[in-house]
Structure 1
Amino acid sequence: MKILIYIAIALAAAAGATWILSDGPGYVRIDIHSWVIETSFAVFSVLAVVLFITCYFLLRLISGTLRAPKKIGQWNKTRKTKKSQKKTTEGLIALTEGQWSKAEKLLTTGARNSETPQLNYLGAAQAAEAKGLPSRRESYLGKAQSCDANRGTAAGIAQAEQQLKQKEYEPALTTLLELQKSSPKHPQILKLLAMLYVETGQWGNALALVPQLRKRESLAPNELVALEIDIWRHLLENAAHQDLRKLHEIWNQMPSRLHQQEDLVFAYTHRLNALDSGHEAETLLRKSLRKHWSESLIYAYGFVEGANPEKQLKYAESWLSKHPDDATLFLTLGRLCLKTKSPEQALKYFHSSLKVDERPETYQEAGNLLLQQMGKNSEALECFRKGLALTIRTIAQPGVFTKAEPVLQKPSQVLLPQA
């Protein structure tokens, strides 16, 4: 298109010159050694334009011929790149569909001329891992690392993820610490390190990572809160294996914003009660329940050994005005009545709890009371029978037990009474 425009301009210029010189065509004489060329200016102008166009196309032809090998090479490279991209795309689709062998073959062959060979090798490593071929997986990860301009960060992260998946904790730790040296602020590296520390029970190391995890936004806010709670809960449990002083120390080190967190209050008071400091646990539970009603905390309140069982019972009974239909509160009141040697009142509370919500443990409490303190064997047997039937029915429900998710525990399955 440009060439046609240039020709049109040249012809227009020649026509213009001819028109200008129409009154006086002019005269051109060229002497070259013994050669003499004479013509009018108009004819000379036309010949000059024709000569210019001829030379232009001749030069273009020569230039195109000289550049032909390079263009052919570029065309061939582009063709191979497109073919590689097609294989890579098909390989990634096969990987998503779980066709591991097909994915591995397409991704490895597509890596040869791929613009992103690292992506191909990482996908091939995933396929090899799924096929149970760790040596081939490591080979692909090594190739991906050699293709990585960022000193193997992406390949190293993929390797660490696979090692964690296979519970190869020592190699995973080595990989992650090496990655951290070159990329100390990388969010995914920090996240994987935290996962490793949690899975291996290194709670102190996991806690030390929390500020960086928050700063780098390695986890979603709710995930970070859940992680922090889990860390402190385990630290409390570990401290309880030592002594009361250590338990207090961990609680005081905890950020004050977590002191009202339900799971942590539950864990702390449970450990206090186990270390014969039930009066302290009772006070904390009472204050926490005053600020925030919690089924798990009211459940725990029925087990702690307060300094004064009668006062503890009165405190709990005062909550009935605001929570008249709380099965857990009735169960706790029944247990507190047992501590104050009031079996008849305890049985009433157990029955009230069962009217709101039939639970196996409530039937068990009522059955134990009827059998051991009241001598009503037949009624006790009926309670045990109903409790057992409920337990069997719960276990038999579809969807209660799954491989993907742990069974959610009720408070009654978490906190056990101290002997």
Structure 2
Amino acid sequence: GLEYLFKKLIYASSTTWNWFSVRKLKRSRRYTNEGIIKLLEGDWKGAEKKVTRWANHHDMPLLCYLVASQAAHEQGNTAERDKYIELASQQDDSLLAVELTKAKQQISESNYEAAFDTLSSLKGSHPNNTAVLGLLKATYMQLKLWQPLLELTPKLAKNKLLTADEQSELEQKAQCGLLHDVAQQQGSEGLISHWNKLPRKQKQSSHLVSCFVKQLIARKADAEAFTVIKENIAKTGSNELYMLLPELNLADHHPVVVMLERAIGKDSNNAEAHSALAQFYLREQKWAEAQNHFEKALALRSNVSDYGYLSDALEKQNLTKAAHEVSRKALALVQPA
């Protein structure tokens, strides 16, 4: 009889304990859910309080600590944030969630070097994780790590984090950044050598050619820049490159002027060629010729700089009223309606 009573007592105790455990678990889950809602609503203090209150009774304390860490982070409380991250990291299978949370917090504080370190450790173990890839993209861009960004773009596209157009745009931006870095580190010779090694398709991009030319001009390799512009206009007919001609510092501008006059002879609707030629005439103090070509360029499209130059050309001819009218048009373009 005693044995029977003892067994009954043990059973009753375990049933009571189970009942309390289930009750605590349900309460913990309810508090955590309420805490997540508060986090989404921006009530950081309320969120932290809710999710930590019964965290040790939750069947997934990792979730509680990560939400608490984010809530503390939003309040600017770094000590508490890091304490919760440490508690989260002690849970089973927590590495990815913890490191992603850390990286997001580091990025939100513009601490990109720390984010780079955090994400680099995840890149090897989770190479196709879309959250990791997206954060790597943001970090590489901020740190101007152009080569790693170029290597990342196919993966971003494959995981549908970039459209084909966005991939092309990002690759051009990275290639442009790379040209700048090479120019700074190796000068114009290193820059030309780097350019010559690029695939033909990339060298056909007028945007990338513009980047290359701008870097050559910045390194005082203006003669080489003029050659690149001439060759690429002949190949592609890109009007974008005409706009770079006035930036050239050449001993003799005559070949550029001849080239622009020929371009306009072939296509009188080439606004960029009209504008570039007008700027050279302005330097040569040929005010009427400059006025004529600026007016032709502006008849084809609006441009604030051209309005400014035209105003100067008119002033030099004592056409003050017309100059003021042109300046007014330029201001209207700059100022929001």
Give percent identity, aligned residues only.
25
User: Which whole-Å CA distance do the structure 2 matches of 1:253 and 1:238 have between them?
Assistant: 16
Of the three residues 139, 147, 168, the one matched with 2:111 is 168
* 1:260 alignment partner AA: Q
Residue of structure 2 in register with 1:397 after alignment: 336
Structure 1, gaps ≥5 residues long: 1-62, 399-419
Q: How far did 1:246 drift?
A: 1.5
Residues 351-386 of structure 1, C-alpha deviations (whole Å, 9 max, x = no match)? 233345454311221233344xxx41343x742x44
Q: In the alignment, is the contact (CA less than 8 A) between 2:44 and 2:72 conserved in 1?
A: yes
Q: How far did 1:72 drift?
A: 4.1
Instruction: Give the SS at the match of 2:204.
Output: coil
Equivalent runs, 1:99-114 vs 2, <5 Å: 99-114=43-58
Equivalent runs, 1:184-333 vs 2, <5 Å: 186-210=129-153, 213=156, 217=159, 219-221=161-163, 222-241=165-184, 242-274=186-218, 275-276=221-222, 277-287=224-234, 289-290=236-237, 296-300=240-244, 303=247, 307-320=255-268, 324=269, 328=272, 330-333=274-277
Residues 319, 97 of structure 1: CA spacing in aligned structure 2 closer, same or farther, 3 A cutoff?
farther
Q: In the alignment, is the contact (CA less than 8 A) between 2:44 and 2:75 conserved in 1?
A: yes
Residues 225, 95 of structure 1: CA spacing in aligned structure 2 closer, same or farther, 3 A cutoff?
farther
Instruction: Report the number of matched residues.
Output: 323
Q: How far did 1:90 drift?
A: 1.8
* 2:162 alignment partner AA: A
Residues 396, 366 of structure 1: CA spacing in aligned structure 2 closer, same or farther, 3 A cutoff?
closer
Residues 363, 395 of structure 1: CA spacing in aligned structure 2 closer, same or farther, 3 A cutoff?
closer
User: Which whole-Å CA distance do the structure 2 matches of 1:159 and 1:244 have between them?
Assistant: 41
User: Which whole-Å CA distance do the structure 2 matches of 1:64 and 1:228 have between them?
Assistant: 73
Residues 138, 64 of structure 1: CA spacing in aligned structure 2 closer, same or farther, 3 A cutoff?
same
Residues 175, 339 of structure 1: CA spacing in aligned structure 2 closer, same or farther, 3 A cutoff?
same
* 1:219 alignment partner AA: L
Residues 167-203 of structure 1, C-alpha deviations (whole Å, 9 max, x = no match)? 2244333323333454455443344344333322333
Structure ranking higher on relative contact order (CA contacts 8 Å, 6+ apart): 2
User: Which whole-Å CA distance do the structure 1 matches of 2:190 and 2:48 have between them?
Assistant: 53
Structure 2, gaps ≥5 residues long: 1-6
- After TM superposition, the score normalised by the length of structure 1 is 0.65
Q: How far did 1:133 drift?
A: 0.9
Residues 289, 136 of structure 1: CA spacing in aligned structure 2 closer, same or farther, 3 A cutoff?
same
User: Which whole-Å CA distance do the structure 2 matches of 1:317 and 1:254 have between them?
Assistant: 34
User: Based on CA coordinates, which of the two structures has the bigger radius of gyration?
Assistant: 1
Residues 80, 267 of structure 1: CA spacing in aligned structure 2 closer, same or farther, 3 A cutoff?
same
User: Which whole-Å CA distance do the structure 2 matches of 1:308 and 1:328 have between them?
Assistant: 14
Q: How far did 1:71 drift?
A: 4.3
Q: In the alignment, is the contact (CA less than 8 A) between 2:179 and 2:191 conserved in 1?
A: yes
User: Which whole-Å CA distance do the structure 1 matches of 2:273 and 2:256 have between them?
Assistant: 19
* 1:229 alignment partner AA: Q
- After TM superposition, the score normalised by the length of structure 2 is 0.78
More helix per residue: 1 or 2?
A: 2
Q: In the alignment, is the contact (CA less than 8 A) between 2:260 and 2:277 conserved in 1?
A: no
Of the three residues 377, 380, 383, the one matched with 2:318 is 377
Residues 262, 117 of structure 1: CA spacing in aligned structure 2 closer, same or farther, 3 A cutoff?
farther
* 1:143 alignment partner AA: L
**Which stretch of the first structure deviates more once superposed, 117-126 or 135-144?**
117-126
Q: In the alignment, is the contact (CA less than 8 A) between 2:229 and 2:241 conserved in 1?
A: no
Residue of structure 2 in register with 1:91 after alignment: 35
Residue of structure 1 in register with 2:4 after alignment: none
User: Which whole-Å CA distance do the structure 1 matches of 2:77 and 2:127 have between them?
Assistant: 31
Residues 147, 314 of structure 1: CA spacing in aligned structure 2 closer, same or farther, 3 A cutoff?
same
User: Which whole-Å CA distance do the structure 2 matches of 1:387 and 1:134 have between them?
Assistant: 56
Q: In the alignment, is the contact (CA less than 8 A) between 1:309 and 1:339 conserved in 2?
A: no
Of the three residues 71, 75, 83, the one matched with 1:139 is 83
Q: In the alignment, is the contact (CA less than 8 A) between 2:308 and 2:330 conserved in 1?
A: no
User: Which whole-Å CA distance do the structure 1 matches of 2:100 and 2:259 have between them?
Assistant: 58
